[in-house]
Amino acid sequence: MLDNAFTWFLVAYKEEFRRGNPVAFETLLSLSLSHLFGYYNPKELADYLNISHQRLYEQLKGFSLYTLQEMLLQFQVKQAVEQLRPVLEKSEATKSRANVTLPVDNSVIDRVGRRLRCTYSWYSGRWKKVVNGQDLLGIILTINGVAIPLYLRYCAKQGRANTDKPSLLMAMLERLKDAFTQEGMNLTDIPITLDSWFVSQPLRKQLRRLGFGKIVLAGKGSYIFTIDKKKQAASAWKKELELVDKQWGIDVPALRVKAQSPTFGKIVLFFFQKSTTRAYYLMDMGAPHLRGAEIWHIWKAHHLVECFWKILKSLFNIKAMQLSGDGVYTALLIKVLAYFLAIRIKAQRAFSKFSIVQLMRKIRREYDLKTLLTEHFHLPFLVT
């Protein structure tokens, strides 16, 4: 089973990525494979193979920043198109069950080093304070409950352009739209979801101008809305409005209402309750406005982007990869390759019911890393 996944990876991407330096590309793949065995950086893999870690680092220095970013984007788009095309050819009911969405989110990776690129002071939602680290902005495609990273970029506070997250996000979406157009697909047909940090009228207009018609954002408690001629903050409306339980297509107490906002004008709000004590609300900024069941169905997939960040941080230990300079994108590419390899193996029938943690444990029990590297790769440092 594992051999089939490797063969697919090597064959599918031989033309695109091995053209320039096949040894360097196979080094990337071997480092990605080693993640499934618990080796998360070149030093750990070199110690396991009993070779000098400098031999691995030398191979990773052959890629420019542009090449790394392009390689990462092409790889992610190719994976997404492969998964998305069969779904789009099915009936509308099948498309609805697949729940194809575009969650957007950012995550801060704690760092203490000063030589690592894109390391600045960012607010961390995990620690509820400003920390030193790298802020990774991601656009994720969700299909059938699986998160497929489409575009990942580190945010910077210095540079000539796109030094703020909204402008960087729009540049990323424009690039993705062009890439999907080349594949004969319209990216803007897919609903997009964002958390409350991105809520703004200028971003709403830019998304609408780009072509997105289904836009769902998490709302802030400080926004003012007028409902039935009564004007107050959203935090007060969450306490006052009576939510309705057991509505068709909605598995939580919820209420869809039309409101007037001094910032956004006429807008549709969707209040819901995830627990017995706290209520939340979403803002439908698309056109035409969605039904309550549609809003909830779209938003239910947003948590998958959080699951993806957790896999990168906890399972694949992205902090362990500390490559300086342009190596920050080399490390990201390796982590993404490891993630795609894991979900590719998990898609096979024999592993379909396993979580990624269970999958990694099973692979470590039943396979030998050095044997796999020797059988599937032609790396000079493997030859004794």
Tell me, what's the pLDDT at 381?
62
What number of helices (H) and strands (E) belong to the chain?
A: 15, 11
- Closest by CA position to 201, among listed 174, 159, 166: 166
pLDDT tens per residue, range 19-68 = 556 777 888 888 998 999 999 999 999 999 888 888 888 888 877 778 88
Residue 383 has pLDDT above 80, yes or no: no
Query: Considering the domain boundaries, does residue 207 fall inside one?
Result: no
Residues 193 and 299: their CA atoms lie apart, in Å, by: 7
Instruction: Say which residue, 255 or 116, is predicted with more confidence.
Output: 255
How many whole angstroms separate alpha carbon 327 and alpha carbon 71? 14
**pLDDT value of residue 14:** 58
Are 267 and 183 found together in one domain? no
Rounded CA gap, 383 and 379, in Å?
A: 7
Helix (H, G, I), strand (E, B) or coil at 106: strand
Q: What is the mean pLDDT of residues 258-280?
A: 90
CB of 234 closer than 8 Å to CB of 221 = yes
Rounded distance, CA 229 to CA 227, Å? 5
**What is the total count of domains within the chain?**
2
Does residue 326 share a domain with residue 290?
no
Q: What is the pLDDT of residues 339-371, one digit of tens each?
A: 998 988 888 888 888 889 999 999 899 889 888
| 123 dihedral zone (left: phi>0; alpha: psi -120 to 50; beta) | beta
What CA–CA distance (Å, rounded) separates 32 from 40?
A: 8
Q: What percent of the chain is modeled with pLDDT above 70? A: 90
Alpha carbons 120 and 346: distance in angstroms, whole number: 36
* DSSP 8-state assignment for residue 314: I
Residue 171 has pLDDT above 70, yes or no: yes
Lowest-pLDDT range, 60-74, 110-124, 177-191, 313-327? 110-124
Average pLDDT over residues 268-280: 87
Distance of alpha carbon 77 from alpha carbon 323, whole angstroms? 25
Q: Are 232 and 108 contained in the same domain? A: no
Say if residue 104 is in the same domain as residue 71: yes
The pTM (predicted TM-score) of the whole model is 0.91
Last residue of a domain, one of 236, 261, 294: 294
Q: Which residues contact 320 (CB under 8 A, 6 or more apart)?
A: 40, 41, 44
- 17 vs 203, higher pLDDT: 203
Neighbouring C-beta atoms of residue 329, cutoff 10 Å: 24
pLDDT band at 11 (very low <50, low <70, confident <90, very high): low
**Mean pLDDT in residue range 269-275:** 90
The verdict on 170 and 231 lying in the same domain is: no
pLDDT band at residue 182, thresholds of 50, 70 and 90?
A: very high
Say whether both 106 and 239 belong to one domain: no
Residue 325, domain extent: 2-195+302-382
